[in-house]
Structure formats: structure tokens, C-alpha cells
Chain A
Amino acid sequence: MRHVLKRLVTMAGAVAITLGAVNSAATAADIELSFYYPVAVGGPITKIIDGYATAFEAENPGIKINAVYAGTYQDTLVKALTAFKSGAPPDIAVLLSTDMYTLIDEDAIMPFDDVLKNDSDKRWAKSFFPAFMENSQTGSKTGEQKTWGIPFQRSTVVMFWNKDAFKAAGLDPDKAPATWDELVADGGKLTARDTAGAVGQWAIEIPSTGFPYWLFQGLTTANAVRLMNAAGTETYFDNPAVIQALQFWVDLSRKYKIQPEGTIEWGTTPKDFFERKTAIIWTSTGNLTNVRNNAGFAFGVAMLPAHQGRGSATGGGNFYLFKKMTAERRDAALKFVKWMTSPERAADWGIATGYVAVRPDAWDTPAMKKYVAEFPAAAVARDQLDHAVAELSTHDNQRVTKALNDGIQAALTGTKTPEQAMKDAQVEAVRILRAYQ
């Protein structure tokens, strides 16, 4: 009995202390910043973000970071925008870089230029890879360039190949196809058919569900053509070079027969790779850790094959600052974003998650150097940044993107020719963008 009583008293004491701690933390004129972050609750990523927030609070007393884990990118955007419309927006959010125009058009975010005060702030805003800044900045109608997003968790499309499969096909296992022609030549050898003609292993899978335009940009950029202008008001879907790129994608299945026909599910592509149903996949660098942990064979990571030149599109999320903050909160928010994107943090984040560290000096930190020495594949994405372009993003972004996605899928499933599909997509995009000319 006494024992139980003693335990109860200890427990009550512990509760009192905890409550006291919570109280004291919330006292004074603390600035509490709400930070929407796109990940489901629980799991390793939330732990990392929580750790960063705690470390930041320890270094910056008086500022509290209230991280809100809001689900997928799409969920987070929905939550942030509906919160904004109801008058209680988050202060900071990590959202897709391609949502920039949507957020600008909703008048929800402010440019970082408005909060950068001194030279060190301005230098910081220029310290990121130019490829990542392409869809973090845009010109206004007066021609002035503004920075609306700061790169944080950025990725790009790379090629993974199964070295064992290359060896089995009599190819050099350490040499990935570097051009479209090599891809087709190697692909013929890598595609394994049984006597009845059924394919046991495909040469390549370029996924085409969800966001086929992003992977398509790996083909168009290599064919030396851009899909949109920098102001996000024009698209070039019916450019002959774009049609040619789509024709090549379709040909991989229909002409060369080295890729499965129809659309290829994004989500199961890595699994297809692990199951040796395909020797090569194109996917996000965000899958690096996944492949490293699950591939039961030697694999390599390479830049996407070149045609007119090399090329890929960047992707992933940026920091945004929402409007309706007081000056004091704005400064605190900027401090947090700067802290989160410091070279050491960018390196740490890249190593922990597989995202591409967003600034060149992050790659010179000792931690990153050690990581790259152990795992050279991690540097492929960085090196490819020299050839990378902005992910497709325009005004009324998702609608324009859907027009292109529908066209790509129509061509891949054979209901339209690539030429027809791209012409239709362009007509639709022009119609949608008319309001922004």
C-alpha cells in the first residue's frame, strides 16, 4: 500500500514538473511560428525535422517552431491554402517548387526580397544551385526578378541500372547507356524473351502515371527544348522537338519493344526493378536510399542518357513565407529558413534523406565529403544539375500540367499519335493561359 502511494506521489510530481516546464517554455513574449511540412505523422523524417526544430529553438531563445505534419505535398498545399483563405495561414511552409505560381496567384506568399535586410542575407539568397533557383524565382510584368521560394528538399530524375543484368546480357556492367542510341542498342540485349515471345525482363521503365511530365522533361531537355517560358505564361508542347521526344518514348515500347506498353505505374517501378522485371528505371533521387536498401544486386546510378545534350528536370519542395505576418515574425521566419539551409544542415539533410543538398558549399563539408567517398552514386544528381532545368510550372499550373499529362498518356497508350497528343495539349494550355497574358 505504501509502495503504491509512493509511486503515485512520484508520478504526480513528475506531471507537475512537466506542466511547469511547458508553462515556462510558453511564457514571455515568445514568437511561435507555425511551419507546415509535407510528411505523414510519425516515421523517420518527422524525427529529423523535430530534431532540427529543437536545435534551432535552443540556439534562438524566444522563437518557437510549431511543426505541423500535413501529409503529402498535395494535402499540405490544400491545408495551407484553406488556412490562408480562412485568415489563419501558416507562417512558413515547405511546398512543391511548382506551386509557386499558384501561391502567387492566390496572393498567399511574399517574396524573400522583401525580408532580406543586409548583405549577408542577400548573399545567402544567392548561395544555391542555379538549377534549383529556376523555379524559385520569377519575373513580374515590370521585368523585376523576385525570389519566392528557397530550395530545401530538392530532387531530380536519374537512371538506376542493374549491373548483374548488364553482365548477364554481355554488356559492360559499369557503363550505363550514355545516349539514346546506346539505350536502344543496350536495350535490345537486355530485353529477355522466352521461347513463346513473352518478356521476362524489360530493358527500361520510364514511369508515366501521376506526373509523367516530370520524367518527360528528361527526354525533352535532352532533345534541347524547353516546355515553358520563365514567366510561366507560355508553353511549347507542340514544338517539333517535343513531339520527337514523345515519339522516342512511345518508340521504346512500340518500335524497339524494350519497354512495357501502356502507362507504367510510378509507385511500383522501384519494385519492378528489385524483382528484376526491368534492368533500368528512371526515378527520383529521392528513391536512392530505398534502392540501396532493397536491391538484391549490384546497381549503378547514372545521369539520364543524352541526345542533343544531357538533361533532366529538378523537382521537390521549397520554403515559402506566407503573407499576413508582422515584421517581427517575418524576421524570425527568415532566421529559421536561413538556419535550415545552412551548408551543414543542407549536407546533413541530404545524407539523411537522399535529397540533393541544395548549395555547392554543402558538398564541401567534411560530412558530405565522407558520404560521397563511401557512396559515389550520391554525387550523380549533383553533377547532373549542370544540365538540369526547372520542373514544368506555369500559371494555373496543375491544369496546364494535366493537359500535358493527358497528352503523354494518350500517346503512350496509343489512342493518339504523339503529334496529335501534343498539339491537343498545346491548344488546351493556350486556352488556360489566355487569362495570364
Chain B
Amino acid sequence: MRGSKTTLRTPRLFTHIYGWLMLLPAAVLLVAFTHYPATATFIDSFFSTPRGRRGAAFVGLDNYQAMVEDPVFWRALENNFVYAASVIPLTIALSLLMALAINGRIAGRSFLRLSFFTPTVLPMIAVANIWLFFYSPGYGLLDQALGLFGFSSTNWLGNQHTALACLIAVAVWKDAGFFMIFYLAALQQLSPQLAEAAAIEGAGRWYFFRRITFPLLMPTTLFVLVNAIINSFRLIDHIVVMTQGGPDNTTALLLFYIYEVGFKFWDTAYAATLTVVLLLLLAALALGQFLFFDRRIHYQ
């Protein structure tokens, strides 16, 4: 009896080991580059920054206390919310609009598709350097264009009221083409019968879009939304090139501030604390998206 039991168990054990071995490469990568750094960051945020011969000491919640009292942190957080709340809807609206525009049979469609997609191909650093000159007061493209209508020159990036909006425009311009591709692919999946049926029923174009096209695109919209949210917290190259967070922290976003604290001030413990906040923020957003939106989306 005992013998047969072991023979029964061995293949199952083997299956388990086999399964774990299959997962190992992915698990190693995930642990090494995601889970371990996240955990280490969390732990580091309770210690002081080691400097020279002085090692790290446990300081409890001191770093969090300092963060709550740090006006630049609140500024960066507020900026980031304004930035995300503008970039995300604008990018999604623009990409959907562009996809709808070039979905139909119009002359020069390939050319339009190419030109809408081009910003995506350029590296953000290059884009930022180009836009830096677009925004130059006086001879920049924007000022020259506005000059034709009699506007005087504006110091776009050097003014606290316009600097963040300028960066938002760059981000929208950069990402809209990329998301357009997903919308375009989704649009081409839609059955033409729906349009024909709607036409027979006498539905207008706006009605058809609102009640049929847009709901059917929701899975794509969720995908785009997740990516847009991540990008709005993740992409800061243009800030490094164009404003360095200035003037007076008007354009400092959370990740930019983390970089500054970590690699310019070398206050790694405080940078870890800020990173924990960013991680929690992103985790909360991701959870919210999947729990809230997933239920309302119709998957075919």
C-alpha cells in the first residue's frame, strides 16, 4: 500500500518542479528587477541616507515626516496631477479623433497615417530639443506663427503660467500618434454590418459613434488609459531638457523630483520615501482602473 502511494506522488511532485522550472526565468527577472527593488526601496525609506563612513541608521517615519513638510514635494505632486489630468484626456481624445479621421477612405490616407505616427518614432529627448526652439521667444515657431496675427512675443517656458501647459502640449503631441494606432486597429475590427444596419435604421453619424463605435472601442480605451496614466508619471525626459523643473518648481513632476533628490542631492533615503509614494499612487490607480472600468466594458 505504502509503495503505491509513493508512485502516485512522484509524478505529481515532478509536475510541480517542472512547472516551477518553467516559471523560473520569468520569476528571476521579476524578482530581481521589480519585487526586490520595490521591497528594498520600502525598507530604505525607514533608514537615514548613508554618507561616507557614516552608515544608514533606522529613523522610523522621519523621512515621511520630512516629506509631509517638504513644499517642493507637494508642489511636484500637485503639478503631476494637473499634468496627468490634462495629458490623459487630451491624448485619448486626439488619438481617437485622428484614428476616426484616417479610418475612412480619403485621399492621402497613407501620408496622413505616417505623419500622425511620426512623433512616436522620435526619441523624447529629440522631441524636447525641437520643441525647445518652437517655444523660443521671438524667433520660435510658435511666436512667429502668432506674430502673423499681431501677437507680441511670449516667454513660453520662462513664465510660471504657461510653462506646465507647454510641457503638456509636448506630451500630447508625442503620445497621441502611438495610441492612434491602437484605435485604428480596433476600428478596422468593427464589423461593417453594424454601420449598414445603423444606416438602414436611420441613425446619424454622431448617434452611431456614441452608441456603437465608442462602446465597442472601450477595451482599447482601457488599454490606452492604463498606458497614458503610466506615461504621465513615467516620462520626464522633456522636463530634463526643457525646464529642469523650473521656473521655481512650476514644472517639477514627481519622478523628476525623485531623480533630483536621488542623483543630485544624493539623499537616497528620501528618494526611496518619495518612490514609495509614487509606487502606492500607481498601484492605487491600476487597481481602480481594473476594478472599476473592467466591469463596465463590453468585450466581444
* A residues with CB within 8 A of B: 74, 78, 81, 102, 104-108, 196-199, 208-210, 260-265, 267-268, 271-272, 275, 277, 396, 398-399, 402, 405-407, 409-410, 412-413, 415
Contacts and interface: CB of A to CB of B under 8 A. Distances in A.
Contacts of A209: 157-158, 243-244, 246-247
A197 B221 CA distance: 49
A74 B264 contact: yes
A275 B158 contact: no
Given A208-B158, A398-B265, 13 more contacts: A209-B244, A209-B246, A209-B247, A262-B155, A263-B155, A265-B158, A272-B136, A398-B260, A398-B264, A399-B267, A409-B247, A410-B248, A413-B247
Interface residues of B, number: 29
Nearest to B140: A268
A407 B51 CA distance: 28
Contacts of B260: 398, 402
Interface in B114-150: 132-133, 136-139, 150
A268 B247 contact: no
5 contacts: A104-B52, A199-B152, A398-B260, A406-B249, A410-B248
Contacts of A268: 132-133, 136
Interface centre among B51, B159, B247 (most CB of A within 10 A): B247
Contact of B246 (A74, A105, A263): A263
A182 B274 CA distance: 49
Contacts of B158: 208-209, 260-265, 412-413
B266 interface: yes
Minimum-distance CB pairs A-B, first 5: A107-B52, A262-B158, A263-B158, A262-B155, A409-B247
Interface of B: 51-53, 132-133, 136-139, 150, 152-153, 155, 157-160, 243-244, 246-249, 260, 263-267
Contact of B155 (A196, A260, A267, A410): A260
B153 A198 contact: yes
Contacts of A407: 248
Given A209-B158, A262-B159, A277-B139, A198 B247 contact: no
A86 to B, nearest CB: 13
A198 B243 contact: no
Contacts of A265: 132, 136, 157-158
Contacts of B267: 399
A427 to B, nearest CB: 12
Contacts of A409: 246-248
A272 B265 contact: no
Is chain A's interface secondary structure helix, strand, loop, or mixed overall? loop
Is chain B's interface secondary structure helix, strand, loop, or mixed overall? loop
Given A78-B263, A81-B266, A209-B158, A262 B247 contact: yes
Contacts of B159: 261-263, 413
B137 A260 contact: yes
Contacts of A272: 136, 138-139
B87 to A, nearest CB: 22
B205 to A, nearest CB: 45
A102 B157 contact: no
A276 to B, nearest CB: 9
A47 B160 CA distance: 42
Interface centre among B51, B155, B260, B266 (most CB of A within 10 A): B266
A267 B242 CA distance: 9
Contacts of A81: 266
Contacts of B248: 406-407, 409-410, 413, 415
Contact of A412 (B153, B243, B247, B264): B247
Contacts of A413: 158-160, 247-248
B132 A267 contact: yes
A398 to B, nearest CB: 4
Nearest to B263: A78
A405 B245 CA distance: 11
Contacts of B139: 272, 275, 277
A261 B157 CA distance: 11
Contact of B265 (A261, A263, A399, A406): A399
A186 to B, nearest CB: 20
B53 A102 contact: no
Contacts of B246: 209, 263, 405-406, 409
Given A198-B152, A265-B136, A105 B263 contact: no
B68 to A, nearest CB: 15
A380 B62 CA distance: 51
Contacts of B243: 209
